A and B are shown apart, each in its own frame.
Chain A
Amino acid sequence: MAENVRPRVKAPRKASAGEEVTIKTLISHPMESGQRKDADGNTIPRSIIHRFTCEFNGEMVVDVAMEPAISTNPYFEFEAVVPEAGDFKFTWYDDDGSVYEETSSVALA
């Protein structure tokens, strides 16, 4: 597991039914591209987060396939509709098999 991987999410705690909200996500991850070489000249193998998904109450908001060109500490901002009270679930999938998750609940305003 990559060290010190910390997901962070900015999502509203309350929304009215059908409201459109802005979601921001950030996860601390080196996103080793596979292009760098170490001090001995050996290529440092690729090790990135290759997929990010956001769901609300089980329905898909966004599903991102990520390549090494996404910067270190991957950042996404997007918009979601909140049809009812429920939970946003955010999932990041690492090349090394780790899965990082974060949940954010929304109450109806």
Chain B
Amino acid sequence: MKKATAITVLLGAGAITAGAVFAEPVEDNLVVNGQIEMTTWTEAPDAVEGKLPEVISGWHFRGTETRAMQADDFDNPGMIFVEDAQESWSTVQGDAGKSCASCHEDVADSMKGVRAVYPKWNEDAEEVRTLEMQVNACRTGNMEAEPLKYTGTEMTSMIALISSVSRGMPVDVATDGPVSETWEAGKELYYTRTGQLELSCANCHEDNYGRMIRADHLSQGQINGFPVYRLKNTKLNAVHARFKGCVRDTRAETFAPGSPEFVALELYVASRGNGLSVEGPSVRN
């Protein structure tokens, strides 16, 4: 056997155990409905200065057909849920006899820009709130309605509706001032190894994005595309549901959706994507 062939075979054999292959995220341009221009690849924001050379949306790590599905609101199955939520928006719920529309009127006007700045500090409640928390606060406080299950279909569809009207706008969550303590807690969680597999978020999404993990193309773990319609379960998935899955995959006891740990983590991870466009609802594998 020629020397070059022998080395290649040995390297091939070694690669079965090493398993790491790098594949460039695909260069492509996302314009939704021929109208909404998305920023999906941009310079690193402050939160990841020195850690990531640039920030890249999960969209670039998916295959051709999957990327195409997100480019048209009819092809994007996530929009079915947005339509459902549009109906809920105008439906009276709760003892106060109000619907979301009673106070907020047209969702496209009143909610424009909202997704882009959440999670954020709520002065009256003196806490960091995620969008889900704010929806439930409105429901229980203003509508006198039952709170929605944090990662249930009804809530996630509503979050998708609110996200959809901010598509194309840059994510811009605050990391200083009253939120800084929560942000620091989220950052610590991001870099802490957990579980039997002893993996931190950073081990995959910062140190190894672009690599193949088995047959999956690892992304930077950005959340600008949430809620996500996953081809795998053909439904919308919320941020905390995805966090829960990831932590479970390291074979650790996972935190609960809505827990302070996940709220802090969501704030931190959102800040890592500052500058990328809000894409939700997006389509991923």
Interface residues of A (CB under 8 A from B): 4, 6, 8, 10, 24, 26, 28, 71-73, 75
Contact = CB atoms under 8 A, between A and B. Distances in A.
Contacts of B75: 24, 75
Contacts, number: 22
Interface string B60-90: 0000000000000011010010011000000
Contacts of A71: 234
B180 to A, nearest CB: 42
A10 B74 contact: yes
B19 to A, nearest CB: 30
A75 B80 CA distance: 12
A6 B84 contact: yes
A8 B234 CA distance: 17
B77 A73 contact: yes
Nearest to B235: A72
Interface in B33-84: 74-75, 77, 80, 83-84
Contact of B80 (A6, A10, A24): A6
Interface residues of B, number: 7
B74 A73 contact: no
Given A24-B74, A24-B75, A26-B74, A73 B83 contact: no
Contacts of A72: 234
22 contacts: A4-B84, A6-B80, A6-B83, A6-B84, A8-B74, A8-B80, A8-B83, A10-B74, A24-B74, A24-B75, A26-B74, A26-B77, A26-B80, A28-B77, A28-B80, A71-B234, A72-B234, A73-B77, A73-B80, A73-B234, A75-B75, A75-B77
Contacts of A10: 74
Nearest to A77: B75
B185 to A, nearest CB: 35
Given A10-B74, A24-B75, A26-B80, 5 more contacts: A4-B84, A6-B80, A6-B84, A24-B74, A75-B77
